[in-house]
Amino acid sequence: MMDILMNRRTIRKYTDIKVDDILLQEILAAGCRTSTTGNMQVYSIIITRSEAMKKALAPLHFNQKVVTEAPVLITFCADFNRFNKWCLQRNTEPGYDNFLSFVTASIDAMLVAQTVCIAAESKGLGICYLGTTTYMANKIIEVLKLPKGVVPITTITMGWPAEIPEQVDRLPLEAILHNEVYSDYSKEEINRYYSEKENRSDSKQFVDENKKETLAQVFTDVRYKKADNVHFSKILLQVLKDQGFMNQ
Ligand SMILES: Cc1cc2nc3c(=O)[nH]c(=O)nc-3n(C[C@H](O)[C@H](O)[C@H](O)COP(=O)(O)O)c2cc1C
């Protein structure tokens, strides 16, 4: 298991071999053994296999090629709808129409998503997360017919790998770790911790291609721009209101 975790990489190209339904069910069942808040399982999992649904979802994932090329897409949703219905049918009033409950259900959804990924990777499958799910949650809600109480949190693509890309870097572990209390970063530490990433040839190429001075500028000016973040935040906040998570 440690080898699987240490050697994994995101896979964005898949063979034509189908992901067998029984195998997928096994992976999803293993994923659902992950920890879940109060054992409430406040999440739902939506499987997309049909070409028609992939085509409908593709533009909502900014037409990333992996969406139509992958045999399976799986969208993980924060879901209090089912739990609320159970409460109402059992003579009690649910109190989950608030932001905390959204965060609770999102945590549950991400935990199950990541456990499904590990289960899939342990079987030799490849996965790619799609962060576009939270950007376009309003439209994904329409396409996937998500009722009130349900918000899409993340999507993964899954299939048999047709590539073994180079592993990408990670910050050194010491950059992430704090002992007992948070130890804030000096300028020198920031320089040291980011130097390996900045000195990689692919990073330098990225900076040149985008005509930037630093790698950080590629993030702030190209990949994750403030204007986009503000725009998609507004949409997501509206989604939380519409889906009934901002009432208290
Ligand atoms: C929440 C989340 C959203 C992501 N969104 C995308 C995406 O939209 N498209 C994509 O190609 N990769 C996406 N990724 C994959 C990351 O780019 C990838 O994990 C990262 O570059 C590290 O590469 P590795 O997984 O191969 O180690 C996402 C990953 C996460 C965790």
Does any ligand 1 atom lie closer than 6 A to the CB of residue 132? yes
Does any ligand 1 atom lie closer than 6 A to the CB of residue 49? no
Structure tokens at 133: 């799910």
pTM: 0.97
Q: How confident is the model at residue 213 (pLDDT cuts 50, 70, 90)?
A: very high
Mean of pLDDT values over 88-100: 98
Does any ligand 1 atom lie closer than 6 A to the CB of residue 130? yes
Could you tell me which residues are beta bridge partners of residue 79? Answer: 150
Strands (E), the chain: 43-48, 72-79, 126-130, 150-159
* 169 CA → ligand 1 middle, Å: 13
Percent of the chain clearing pLDDT 90 (strictly above): 99
* 85 CA → ligand 1 middle, Å: 34
Q: What is the pLDDT of residue 133?
A: 98
Convert the pLDDT of each residue in 176-209 to its tens digit.
Answer: 999 999 999 999 999 999 999 999 999 999 999 9
Q: 131: which residues sit within 8 A by CB, 6+ positions away?
A: 154
d(CA 118, CA 111) in angstroms, rounded, equals 11
Residue 240 scores a pLDDT above 80 = yes
Residue 248 scores a pLDDT above 90 = no
Q: Identity (one letter) of the amino acid at 113?
A: A
Give the residue, by CA position, lying nearest to ligand 1 atom 10: 130
> DSSP state, 36?
-
Does any ligand 1 atom lie closer than 6 A to the CB of residue 48? no
Give the residue, by CA position, lying nearest to ligand 1 atom 9: 130
Does any ligand 1 atom lie closer than 6 A to the CB of residue 5? no
Does any ligand 1 atom lie closer than 6 A to the CB of residue 109? no
What radius of gyration do the chain's Cα atoms show? 20
